[in-house]
Homo-oligomer: A and B are copies of this chain.
Amino acid sequence: MTAGQSEGGERKYQRIANALRAAIDAGEYRPGDRLPGENDLMAAYQVARMTARQALSVLQSEGLAEARKGAGVFVRTFRPLRRRGIQRLAQGQWGTGRSVWSADLDEDRDIVVDGITVTEQDTPDHIADVLGLSEDERVCARSRRFVLDGKPVLLSTSYLPMSVVDGSAITQEDSGPGGVYARLAELGHAPARFREEIRSRMPTTTEAEDLRLATGTPVFLMCRTAFTEGGRAVEVNEMVLDAGSYILEYDFNA
């Protein structure tokens, strides 16, 4: 047999991938350890390079392993941040109770915000829809990047109508104490209600580069809209999150 899959069992690359996965689960390889490389697998299983490669790619696309060019394939580490969707924007806070997934609570982690840019620009169509703006109205776009332990984990762009924020500190890189929402309140547009919408998909090539994502890591797309008491949408914040770096949490009453 030169090639082709012969009998009714599982594929060769799956057999190899399963063996490696089992070894990881069994603790034979721990997070950060180097897995057998392409050459090792070719020798051990008597397969061609591409087959060994595909086996390793299975583990990568499952998010279990991560290839580093010129170095090897390594077992991935999962140390997510916990992002509390509601408490971070509200005051009321009920007691704790055990959490399901253990996670670092933003303590002892080196989080840096960088790459802040603020521009006035034309309003993208889908943003105009949500903010209820006409075609010719412009918006203030505030972009930021969150970097955790040297790796970017979140990209954020916030859109606010120029008709609301013009002349305020919101159009400055430093929006002042209390941030954008405090300034909105001073302008008579205090956010009273929020809506967060969440999707998840594989990243585009650009997103993967910007967030330096390992292959096999999806992203969260989060879009938060802030409404005033009167029901007007005054801010839309579009975010892209490294899904491997976050646990999203929402606490609410019945």
Partner-B contacts on A (CB < 8 A): 14, 50, 58, 61-63, 80, 85-86, 89-90, 94-95, 97-101, 126, 129-130, 132, 190-205, 215-218, 220, 223, 225, 227, 231, 233, 236, 243-244, 246-254
Contacts and interface: CB of A to CB of B under 8 A. Distances in A.
10 contacts: A61-B61, A62-B204, A86-B250, A95-B231, A97-B231, A192-B254, A194-B251, A195-B250, A202-B218, A250-B250
A196 B82 CA distance: 12
A252 B89 contact: yes
A253 to B, nearest CB: 6
Given A95-B231, A97-B225, A195-B250, 9 more contacts: A50-B50, A62-B205, A86-B252, A98-B129, A98-B130, A194-B251, A197-B248, A202-B218, A218-B243
Contacts of A190: 254
A17 to B, nearest CB: 8
A199 B97 CA distance: 19
Nearest to A195: B251
The 5 closest A-B pairs by CB, nearest first: A218-B218, A200-B243, A200-B200, A198-B248, A100-B223
A248 B249 CA distance: 12
Contacts of A100: 126, 130, 197, 223, 225, 236
Given A130-B100, A253-B192, A253-B193, A198 B95 contact: no
